[in-house]
A and B are shown apart, each in its own frame.
Chain A
C-alpha cells in the first residue's frame, strides 16, 4: 500500500510539475518569440549573392542597389541591370553568374527568395524610418558580414512596438543611417531624446493601430 501511495504521489506531483514546466516553456517562448524558426537561418538564392563581399569588403553603399529606400515604402530589390552594370565586365564568364546573364539576355527577372516578409496587413514604410534616423543594422543586423542573407530579427509586432514606444533607445544621426559599423554612443538615451526632437518624431500616436495596420 505504501508503494502504491508513493507511485500516486510521484505521478501526481510529477504530472503537475511537468505540466507547469511545459506551460512555462511554451509561454515564455511565445512571449519572447524564442521558437521563431526564421531568425538566423540563411536563405539560399538562385545566385549566391554575398552582401559580405559587396557591402562589406567592397564598401558599396546600401543605396546603390536598394535605391528606393529613402523615397518609397518598399526599399526595392535591384534589377538585373544593376548587377550587369559591373558584371558585364567583371567576372563576365563566371559560372556562378550564369542566371544573371540569362536573365539579362531573356529579359526575365531573377527569382530572388524573399528573406524578410511581414504579412500583407502590415504596411511598413522604409523611407520614414530612414528619414527619422533608424539605421539599417538596427533592424536587419550585420548585413555587411552575411555571405548569405538571413533574417537577424523575427520582426514580430513586439519588436516594432519596443522601438515605437521608446524610439530614443535606437535612433542615430541621419548621416549614420547607412553606416553599417556605427556603434551607439554611451550616452545613447541623451542623444536619442535630442534626435526625437530634432527629427520631429511624433510619439503621441506611434503605437496606434492605424500607423501600421491600415
Chain B
C-alpha cells in the first residue's frame, strides 16, 4: 500500500513505514543486542549504584554527622537532591498525562522513556527522605496506622504530606507506565523467539489479546488515569514546595512557591528528557520516530516553563524590595553578594540567560546546542534548589546562628550514586522493555497515513485475527 504523502503532523514519523516495518524497528531495540554505548552506561550506572549503597551504609552506620549539615543548615544536599529528582520526574507524567488530555500526538514517541525517567527519578528522590532521617529505622512512624502507641502522624506538617504525595506519585506513575506497557508486552510475547522471553512477556502482558473490548477499556482507563495523574503531578511538587513555603525563613516564606516549583519541575524534567533522548535516538537510530520536530517542541516547552521560573526569580527580588521587610531584603543581598553569590549568579546566568537561546529555531534545531542547553538547565535547576535550601538557611534572623554549609564526600557520593542508579535503572529497563511505546506509534501511524481501512494494508500485529494464545 502506498502511504499518503506526508503533510502536517505526518512529520512525526519519518521514512516509508508500514505497521510491520515500524513495529519491527521499535521491537528491535529490545530484541537485538544493545548498541555499543549501552555497556558503558550500564557499567557506569552500576558502579554509581554501588557507590550509592556504600554511602548509605556509611550514613546508617556512622550517622548523619558524616554529612556536611550543621545546625542552621539542617537541610543540605539531601533536600537539594530530593527536590531536584522529584522535579525531574515531573516531565514524565506531564508528557504522559497532560499531553494526553490535550490530545498532543507528538507525545506518543516520548511518553515511555519519560515515564521510565519518572519512575527512576522518583525512586532516587524517595530515597532521600528515608536516609536523611537520623533514625531511618523508625520511618514507618510517618504512616497513619493504628498502633499500640496510640499516636498518629501530625497532618499539619508538609513533610507528612510529602510522604502521601510521593507514595501516590510513585504508585500512579508506576501504574501508568505498566498500563502503557501491556500492549507492547503482548507484542513482544508474540514475537518472542525463546521460551524464556515468551513466558516472561506472557506473564507480564496479563493475557492481552488486543480485542476491541480490551482496547475500549484500555483507552478509558488510560484517559482516566491521565485525568487523575494531572492534578497529582501539579500537587506533588506543590507539596514539596510547601516544605519551604510553610517555613518562616526569609527566602522560603513566599506564596508563589507552589507554581514556581511546579514550573521548575517541568523545566528540569524536559531538560533531563532531552538529555536522555538526544543520545538515545542516535545510538538506537530512532530518528524516524523521535524527529527534530519532537525535540523542537520539547525545547519550546522547556522555554515556556523556564520563563515561568525566570519570572519568579525576578519577582522574588521585586517582592523583597516591595515588602520593605529588612530580613527579606538582607536575604536577597546575601544571595547577590554573600559567599554563595557565585551559585546564585550561575543560576541566573543559566536559567534566565542561556534559556533565551531557545527562542531561536536555529539553536533549537542544533542538536549539540540543545543537548548542552538541556544539561545546563539541569545544572541551573540544581543551583536553584541550592540557592533556596542552603543559602536561605545559612543566614536567617539571628546573626549568631549564621553558618555556612560544606558538603562532605558522603553528600557527593549520595548524589553521584543516585545519578548512577538512575542511569542503571533506565539502561536495564530499555534492555527489556521498548523505550518507545510501539502500540501508540502504530496507532499514530494509522492516524497519519492509513486512515482508509484496507485489508491488504498492514494491520497492527495483535489484530491479525489469529488467537494469540495458540503456540506458533
Bound complex: CA A84 to CA B250 (Å): 69
- Nearest-neighbour CB distance to chain A for B471, whole angstroms, equals 10
| A158 contacts B by Cβ under 8 Å | yes
Partner of A31, one of B148, B151, B207, B469: B148
Chain A interface mostly helix, strand, loop or mixed? helix
**Which residues of B are found within 8 Å of A162, using beta-carbon distances?**
150
A204 touches B (CB below 8 Å): no
Residue of chain B at shortest CB distance from A34: B148
Interface bits B27-59 vs A (CB < 8 Å: 1, else 0): 000000000000000000000000000000000
- How far is B247's CA from A77's CA once the two chains are assembled, in angstroms? 50
Tell me whether B297 is interfacial, beta carbon within 8 Å. no
Please name all residues of chain B whose beta carbon is closer than 8 Å to the beta carbon of A1 when the two chains form the complex: 469
In the bound assembly, the distance between CA atoms of A175 and B373 in angstroms comes to 82
Decide if B150 touches A158 in the complex (CB within 8 Å). Answer: yes
B147 close to A (CB within 8 Å): yes
Contacts of B469 in A (CB 8 A): 1
User: In the complex, how many angstroms separate the beta carbon of A33 from the nearest chain B beta carbon?
Assistant: 4
A81 contacts B by Cβ under 8 Å: no
Q: Looking at the assembled complex, report how far the CB atom of B96 sits from the nearest CB atom of chain A, in whole angstroms.
A: 26
Query: Within the complex, what minimum Cβ distance (angstroms) separates A149 from chain B?
Result: 22
- For A22-64 the 0/1 string (1 means CB < 8 A from B) is 0000010011110010000000000000000000000000000
A32 touches B148 (CB 8 A): yes
Which of B146, B151, B207 sits near A27, CB closer than 8 Å?
Answer: B146
Which residues of chain A come closer than 8 Å to B149, judged between CB atoms?
A: 156-158
Chain B: how many interface residues by the 8 Å CB criterion? 9
A27 and B145 form a contact (CB under 8 A): yes
**Further pairs besides A158-B147, A161-B150: 12, Cβ < 8 Å:** A5-B207, A30-B145, A30-B147, A30-B148, A31-B145, A31-B147, A32-B148, A154-B148, A157-B148, A157-B149, A158-B148, A162-B150
Residues of B within 8 A of A (CB): 145-151, 207, 469
Q: Which secondary structure dominates where chain B touches chain A?
A: loop
CB-CB contacts below 8 Å: A146-175 with B:
154, 156-159, 161-162
If A1-B469, A8-B207 touch, does A157 touch B150 (CB 8 Å cutoff)?
yes
* Chain B neighbourhood of A27, CB < 8 A: 145-146
Closest to B151 in A: A157
Separation of A30 and B207 alpha carbons in the complex (Å):
38
The minimal Cβ–Cβ distance linking A185 to chain B, given in whole angstroms, is 27
Contacts of A156 in B (CB 8 A): 148-149
With A1-B469, A8-B207 as known contacts, state yes or no: A30 contacts B146, CB within 8 Å. yes
1/0 per position for A1-28, CB-CB distance to B under 8 A? 1000100100000000000000000010
Can you spell out 8 A-B residue pairs with CB atoms less than 8 angstroms apart?
A5-B207, A8-B207, A30-B146, A30-B148, A156-B148, A158-B147, A158-B148, A159-B148
- Across the A-B interface, the 9 shortest Cβ-Cβ residue pairs: A158-B150, A31-B146, A33-B148, A156-B148, A161-B150, A157-B149, A158-B148, A30-B147, A157-B150
